[in-house]
Structure 1
Amino acid sequence: MKNLVLILALVLSSWQIQAQEKTISGIVTTADDALPLPGVNIFIKGNSKGTQTDFDGKYSLQANSGDILVFSYIGYITTEVEIGSVSTIDVVLETDSNSLDEVVVTGYAVTKKRAFTGAVSVVSVEYEQTSKSQLKNQARKRVHNKISNQLAGQVSGIKIKGTTKSNISNVLYIVDGIPVQKSYNTLIEQLDPDTIDSVNVYKSSEAINTFGNSAKDGCIVITTKKGNYRIQNDEDYANITENNFESTAMSPLSTFSIDVDKAGYSNVRRMINNGETIPPDAVKLEEMVNYFNYKYPQPTDQHPFSINTEVVETPWHKDTQLVRIGLQGKSYENDQLPASNLTFLIDVSGSMGSQNKLPLLKSAFKLLVNQLREKDNVSIVVYAGAAGVVLEPTSGNEKETILAALDHLNSGGSTAGGEGIKLAYKLAENNFKKNGNNRVILATDGDFNVGASSDKAMQTLIEEKRKSGVFLSVLGFGYGNYKDSKLETLADKGNGNHAYIDNMQEAQKVFGKEFGGTLFTIAKDVKIQVEFNPKKVQAYRLIGYENRLLADEDFIDDTKDAGELGSGHTVTALYEVIPVGIKSDYLNAIPDLKYTQSEVSSNYEDELFTVKFRYKKPNEDTSIEMVHIQNTELTDASEDMNFASAVALFGMQLRNSKYFNNASTSKVIELAESGRGADTDGYRAEFMRLVKSYDSLK
C-alpha cells in the first residue's frame, strides 16, 4: 500500500511539473529609441535552453513558472526576469555604459601581442573610459545586431590562457560588431594600428554573460575608428550602370527580360542589419521592388499571367510621371503541381562552415523537404575538393531518410563548383520526369575556386546544361566572400531564379510561402517591350533591370534567353517618364538629323504607350505574344503603387542615384506608410524598420 501511495505521489508531482511549463513570448526593444532588437540572446538561468529574437524583436520559448529568463545583448545591460503567472513578457534593454570597462586598450601598436594573446591581468596601458554618448551612438548603429545569431553555440571562443602562437587560430574575435570566421583569424595581424579605436578583452565569466555560452573561454572585441571594418570582405557584385533617360523620338522602344530574383533585397537587409556600408552595385532596384508581392488579379484567360498597368505623378518629382507595369503569375496549390525531380546541389567546402552558411542551409532545406509528396524525388549531391552523391533519388514520403542525409553534412576542403554542377545535372537527367518539374537547387556562397570557376566559365557550363530541360534555382548563403555576380549569372543562364537567405524568416518565405513559385515554372523566356508614344512622352527611364536589358531585335528572336516566371510570382517594372512640353535638366539637346526625318503619327492621341510580352510554355520553344495598351489618364496612386515607389526611391538613395531629386528618407517612410495595406506577413513593416535603421546610421 505504501508503494502505491508513493507511486501516485510521484505521478502527481510529475503532472504538476509538466502543468507549470508554458509558452513564454514577447518583444525586446531598446530604451533609447523603442526599436525592436533582433538577435537578443534569451536563456533560462542555470539551463542551456534558450532562443533569440527574430528581426521584429520577437521571441518564444517553453519555460516553467519560477524560472528566470536572462536577456543579453552586446552594449546593453543584461536583464533577468522571473516568470510568474503571465505568458507575455516584453523587455526593454538599457544601454550599458560600463560594458567595455573590463579592459580598453589604446596605443594598440605598442601592446598588440600582449593584448591579443596574453593574460588579461598583465595588460598595462592607458585606460580610456568610453563615453555614454559614444555607446549610445554605437547602439543606434546596430553594428552588433547579428552577433548572437552567429555566435550561438557555434564558435569555440578565445583561449586566453597563454601566449603561444597556436592559441591565435582558436581565438574568437569580433571586429566592429562582426564575428571573424575562425579561418580568417590570422588576418587580425594585418589590421592597421592607426585605424583601431579600442580593444576590449572579456574574461570567461563576463564573456558568457555578454555573448552566451559560445564565448565561455573569453572574447576580444575590436572597435575601429570608422566602425565598419570587414576583415574577410571579398564579395563580388556585377557592375551596374544606372539607366538614363532615353529620348522617345530617337529610341521609342525599351526592351528587357523579366526578373523574379529577390536576392538583392535580402542581401541589402543583411548589410543594414549589420551596420555595413552598402556597395552601390549590391543595390538592384528591380530585385528590391520585386521582393514584395502586389495585389494583381489572377489571369482569367488562356495565358499564364495577367497584365496590369498604372500611371501616376512621380512622388519625388512633380514634373514627371511614374508608370507601373505588373505581371501576376497563375497560382497553383501544392497538390496541383506536377511531380518534382529535385537534385539538391550543396556546397560543403571550408568556406561554408560558419553558422549563417551550412547550418542555416540545412534548416532551410528541411522546410522544403517537409512539403514533398510521395510522387516527388530528391537526390543530394555535395561538392568541396571533389563532388559526390550522398543521396540517390528518394521518394518525398521518405522524409526521415532525406533529413538524415542533410544532418550528416559537414564542411571542409576547397570548392569544385563546376564538377558539382556537372554531376548534379547528370543525376537530374538520369531521373528526368516527363511533364514534371526537373530542377537542380544549388546552395552555396558562390566561392568556386577549383575547376570551372570564373563567371564566364560558369556561364558557358550552365548554358550547355540548360538544354537538358532541367531548370535551376540558386540559393546564396553567408557573407564576407559572397559571390552575388556568379550566382546571378548561374540563375539567369540556367532558366532559374536566385534568392539570398540570411535567416530562417527568409527561408520560410522562399520555401514556405512561395514554394510553388520557387520550384515550378509556368512561363519561360518572358520578355517585355514598351513602345512609348512620342506625341505624349518626351523621354523615359527604366528604373532598374540594368543587367536585364535586351536589344530591341532580341524581342522577336526566340533563341535569346530571358527570365522565368513561377507559380504565383509577381513581376513589377517601373518607368519614370517626362511628358511632352516639360523642360527638364535630365535631358540634353539632340542634334538635327541630316538623312532621317522623324514623323509622328497624328493618331493615338489617347495612348501613352503599348507594351508587348512574349513568353514560352515551359516545355516549348516558340513564343506567344500578348499586347496591352495604356491610355494617358493619370490616376491616384494605389496602395501598391505607393509602396513600390517607396522601395524604388529607397534603392535610388542607397545607390546615390542622380534621379531621386534629393528626396529624404522621410518621404520613403511616408510612401511606405500609405502603401502598407494589410501587410499580413509583416514584410512591409520590416522594410520601414530597415529604412529607419539605415537613416540612423548616416
Structure 2
Amino acid sequence: MAEAPWKPEHRLARIAIKGRVNQQERAPANFVFLVDVSGSMDEPDKLPLVKQSLRMLTERLSTKDRVAIVTYAGSTAVILPSTAGTEKSRIIEAIDGLGAGGSTNGAGGIRLAYEQAQQHFQKEGVNRVILCTDGDFNVGISSPGELQKLIEEKAKSRVFLSVLGFGAGNLKDRTMETLADKGNGNYAYIDSLSEARKVLVEQMNATLVTIAKDVKIQVEFNPAQVQAYRLLGYENRVLAKQDFNNDRKDAGEIGEGHTVTALYEIVPANVKLPDGRPLVDDLKYADTPAAPAAVPAQAAKAGPASNETMTVKLRYKQPLADTSVLMEVPVVDKEKKMADAPGDFKFAASVAGFG
C-alpha cells in the first residue's frame, strides 16, 4: 500500500499474484489447433498472422507433445489428425496449407476440436484446444449465451481452452473473452508477430500450462480503518460475495509464471471533506462509526479494534481438483509514500492513472 498518486490523501492497495514456475520439464501436451478459416479471416492481420503464430508454437513442441489441426468455416474438418511433436515439418505443412473462405460455423468446430482432444487425452499432461479466430460466429450456434453453454459443457472434459483473437475492425472481443472464461482458459489479442512471439514463445507456459483454476480473491475491509473503497477495473470479473466459498462457481485460471494485478483505491477512516464534514455520517443504529454503502452491512457490527486495513483471501483449485484451497493474508498499512513504493507498484499505479 502507498499513497494514490492522483489523490494523495487516499491510499492505493496492490494485490498481486504470480503463478509458480515449474523448474522441471513441461509435462507432455495434447494440443488441438482450432482455426477459423471463414471469409472474414481473409485479411493480412488475421489468417496469415495465425499461420505465422502457429508455426512459431510448433517449433517449440517437445518430442512428447502431440498436435491435431481442426478448421471451421461453413463446415468443419480435421486437417491434421493428432501428430507427434517430432513431425514438425508435417505439422507446418498442414498449417501452410490453410486458406480462408465461407461462412463461420464456430460451434461445429469447437465440438470437433474437443472430440480430437479427448481421443488423445494425456492423463498427467496438458490438454488444450487453442482457438484462433476473429470471433465472428455466424452459422449454427452464434449467440454468446448459447456458445457459453456449449463451452461450459465441454470444460467438464478437463480439456482447457486458449482463445487467440486476431485482426481489427470486426473483432468480437467480448465473445472470445467469454469463451476463454467459461472454458477454463485464457484470452490473448494478437495484432502483430511480436505479440504472437510474446504469448506463444516467451510466455508459452503461462499461456498454455494451467497451474491453478477457479482462482478467486475476496477482500474484507476493516471499517475502523476504511470508510470507502473502489476496485479499479475488473468490472466483468466481479463475483457475488457468497460465490467465494462456493466451489461450483467458475472463476479465472492462472498459468505457470502468470501474473495478475488488482488495485483498490481506499479512503481512510480519518479523511474528511474540505469543510470538515465526514464523507459518510455515523450510523444512528450501530455501535461503530458509519460503514459506507460499499462495505457489507455485517462489517458495521462491533468487533475488536484492529490496526489491519484489510484481509485478502485467495481460493484456488489444483488443475484436476474439484475442492479449493484457502489462503488468508492480513494487511497493515505502513503509510508509505509513492517514492518509497517498489518499482512494480509505481508502474501499476501509472497504468491505472493513465486508464
- TM-score where L is the length of structure 2: 0.92
Q: Letter of the aligned partner of 2:42 in structure 1?
A: G
Alpha-carbon distance change, 552 to 590 in structure 1, aligned in 2, over 3 angstroms: farther
Per-residue deviation, 1:560: 0.2
Report Cα offsets for 1:379-437 as digits up to 9, x if no partner.
00000001110000001111000000000000000000010000000111111110110
2:323 to 609, 613, 622: 622
Q: Letter of the aligned partner of 1:321 in structure 2?
A: R
Report Cα offsets for 1:12-56 as digits up to 9, x if no partner.
xxxxxxxxxxxxxxxxxxxxxxxxxxxxxxxxxxxxxxxxxxxxx
Which structure features the higher share of strand residues? 2
Report Cα offsets for 1:63-82 as digits up to 9, x if no partner.
xxxxxxxxxxxxxxxxxxxx
Match of 2:129 in 1: 440
Match of 1:639 in 2: 343
Matches of 2:273 and 2:246, distance apart in 1: 36
Matches of 2:283 and 2:249, distance apart in 1: 33
Q: Letter of the aligned partner of 2:13 in structure 1?
A: V
**Equivalent residue of 1:320, what SS?**
strand
Matches of 1:378 and 1:584, distance apart in 2: 62
Match of 1:509 in 2: 198
Match of 1:559 in 2: 248
Match of 2:301 in 1: 599
Q: 2:41 aligned with 1:352, yes or no? A: yes
Give unpaired runs (5+ residues) of structure 2: 287-296
Matches of 1:484 and 1:364, distance apart in 2: 19
Match of 1:329 in 2: 19
Q: Letter of the aligned partner of 2:305 in structure 1?
A: N
Contact 2:224 2:305 (C-alpha < 8 Å) held by counterparts: no
Q: Letter of the aligned partner of 2:39 in structure 1?
A: G
Calculate percent identity across the aligned residue pairs. 54
Q: 2:262 aligned with 1:573, yes or no? A: yes
Contact 1:332 1:516 (C-alpha < 8 Å) held by counterparts: no
Match of 2:312 in 1: 611
Q: Letter of the aligned partner of 1:613 in structure 2?
A: L
Matches of 2:62 and 2:240, distance apart in 1: 42
Per-residue deviation, 1:584: 4.9
Match of 2:164 in 1: 475
Match of 2:10 in 1: 320
Match of 2:116 in 1: 427
Matches of 2:320 and 2:231, distance apart in 1: 31
Matches of 1:352 and 1:608, distance apart in 2: 50
Please list, as runs of the form range in 1=range in 2, the aligned pairs for 1:296-315 lying within 5 A after superposition.
311-315=1-5
Report Cα offsets for 1:119-161 as digits up to 9, x if no partner.
xxxxxxxxxxxxxxxxxxxxxxxxxxxxxxxxxxxxxxxxxxx
Report Cα offsets for 1:598-633 as digits up to 9, x if no partner.
4332332x2111111110000110001011111121
Contact 1:535 1:600 (C-alpha < 8 Å) held by counterparts: no
- TM-score where L is the length of structure 1: 0.47
**Equivalent residue of 2:189, what SS?**
strand
Per-residue deviation, 1:524: 0.5
Report Cα offsets for 1:298-347 as digits up to 9, x if no partner.
xxxxxxxxxxxxx00001111200000111111135x6211100000000
Match of 2:293 in 1: none
Q: 2:180 aligned with 1:495, yes or no? A: no
Q: Letter of the aligned partner of 2:19 in structure 1?
A: G
Q: 2:223 aligned with 1:547, yes or no? A: no
Contact 2:16 2:262 (C-alpha < 8 Å) held by counterparts: yes
Per-residue deviation, 1:650: 1.2
Q: Letter of the aligned partner of 1:621 in structure 2?
A: D
Alpha-carbon distance change, 553 to 435 in structure 1, aligned in 2, over 3 angstroms: same
Q: Which has the higher contact order (CA 8 A, sep 6+)?
A: 2
Match of 2:353 in 1: 649
Matches of 2:67 and 2:78, distance apart in 1: 12
Per-residue deviation, 1:637: 1.5
Give unpaired runs (5+ residues) of structure 1: 1-310, 652-698
2:155 to 463, 466, 478: 466
Q: Alignment length, in residue pairs? A: 339
Name which one, 1 or 2, has greater alpha-carbon Rg: 1
Per-residue deviation, 1:634: 2.0
